[in-house]
Structure 1
């Protein structure tokens, strides 16, 4: 069963990203929204981990843009309608509150 994991908290404030990466499966996707987009700042530990993992990684483009973060070529920027499509595509959605 595939899961879309949704993170919205900064990776610099707690361990949600680390916990998520421990359980994420090969068929799963990860969507960064809100302050979780800061994980895509080049030169940071979260950026290095995410770039090396080869995940199906999505980021809300609006949130990345609001934080002046470029979406790297190994991630996919999505808008809200695409977020809804992802939610339907995956069997489950797990929001890391």
Structure 2
């Protein structure tokens, strides 16, 4: 049962990133920061949908660690963008 959720998570995240990359390529905007933020939004939504409030599996805990690191990187991106705006 849990293996199915792992596969579904990977499939949905892969489809989400493929859609994002396709739209970025069509718009001629290939930006790693935008891709990272949209990846983070996608994984946050997926984890929110598959996480059970009563049962915590090891791969969910591991994904939450990855999400925590992603939020930290997102904070750095925001801080650098703010500093870039202020220094103009």
* Structure-1-length-normalised TM-score: 0.28
- Structure with more helix by fraction: 2
For CA contacts below 8 A with separation 6 or more, give which structure has more relative contact order: 1
- Which of the two has higher C-alpha Rg? 2
